[in-house]
Structure 1
């Protein structure tokens, strides 16, 4: 009996997993891009969310392939719990990175403000009024009227009160 005959079930299941991954990636990409288009979300933010979801799909596919090829479920659970413990300890040490990434995703989907908006951050120690220049996974770039460039963590934008300020009208003379 050859290798291909001996593991025919696993080979077919592997092919199906790969097919499902490709189809899921295409569906997710189209869904996120259509959502972003309908809500006028920046392309950088859209691509970032797509990358996060693709990573999750890939991790689930790898776990599925491990199960298909006969790794014992108890061994998988022990390995995953060990990895989760190590990642949990590392993330506890770097909780701000995780909170900023999570905040970036929340800002993407809730979309309370957009690039070009002038916002006022209500902080009792350091009030900021500035224009949003860019929103990334970790932080938001702001530019004050004085030309000061401020990099503000996304997690703080969700924690602080934010007002969207309407642009001030310039004094212009009307001519007939």
Structure 2
């Protein structure tokens, strides 16, 4: 056991340093995402979801760095990643709509001009919607129409349609309720 530790001391030290850096960066990311979420008025659950997405990306980068720390050759890493991405690419092509909604939800978290409680009109020629935003989720947005119906609208379509803000924070207006 001591022979193993002495032979691989540098790799162990570098791995511990990488783990510490990973924890620090993740903490900074989570705090930053929560601050952005509070500033933009999104729910804490939504900020947590975005934080998890970014943590997964960070872990994948850390695994790549760890492979180099342990002495894996770049050719071997590129072979593994190209094979994995080919399989993932075929799978994601089959579910591109879901991936599109998740990506749109990610974009909406950082730059969507409307908040929960705002009354909006979506200018869709097939199904126009005029409703209050109840929740913004990873795949869809929940809208409550004046008659009480709940409409779930896909995030990717919402970014493609013209949207008009009718009333800011309509949930707090007693005339709506």
TM over 0.5: yes
**1:169–1:33: structure 2 CA closer, same or farther, 3 Å change rule?**
closer
Residue correspondence of structure 1 range 51-130 to structure 2 within 5 A: 51-130=52-131
Q: By how many angstroms is 1:37 displaced?
A: 2.2
Instruction: For 1:56 and 1:82, locate their aligned partners in 2 and report how far apart those are by CA, in whole Å.
Output: 18
TM-score (norm 2): 0.91
Unaligned runs of 5+ in 2: none
Residue 151 of structure 2 corresponds to which residue in structure 1?
Answer: 150
In the alignment, structure 1 residue 41 sits paired with structure 2 residue 42? yes
Moved more, 94-103 or 32-41: 32-41
Q: Which structure has the larger Rg?
A: 1
Structure 1 runs of 4+ with >4 Å offset? 167-170
Unaligned runs of 5+ in 1: 171-176
RMSD over aligned CA atoms reads: 1.5
Instruction: For 2:151 and 2:39, locate their aligned partners in 1 and report how far apart those are by CA, in whole Å.
Output: 29
Q: By how many angstroms is 1:169 displaced?
A: 8.3
Instruction: For 2:125 and 2:28, locate their aligned partners in 1 and report how far apart those are by CA, in whole Å.
Output: 45
Q: By how many angstroms is 1:82 displaced?
A: 0.8
Q: By how many angstroms is 1:88 displaced?
A: 0.9
Instruction: For 1:48 and 1:161, locate their aligned partners in 2 and report how far apart those are by CA, in whole Å.
Output: 26
What is the total number of aligned residue pairs between the two structures?
A: 170
Instruction: For 1:89 and 1:83, locate their aligned partners in 2 and report how far apart those are by CA, in whole Å.
Output: 10
**1:124–1:81: structure 2 CA closer, same or farther, 3 Å change rule?**
same
In the alignment, structure 1 residue 9 sits paired with structure 2 residue 10? yes
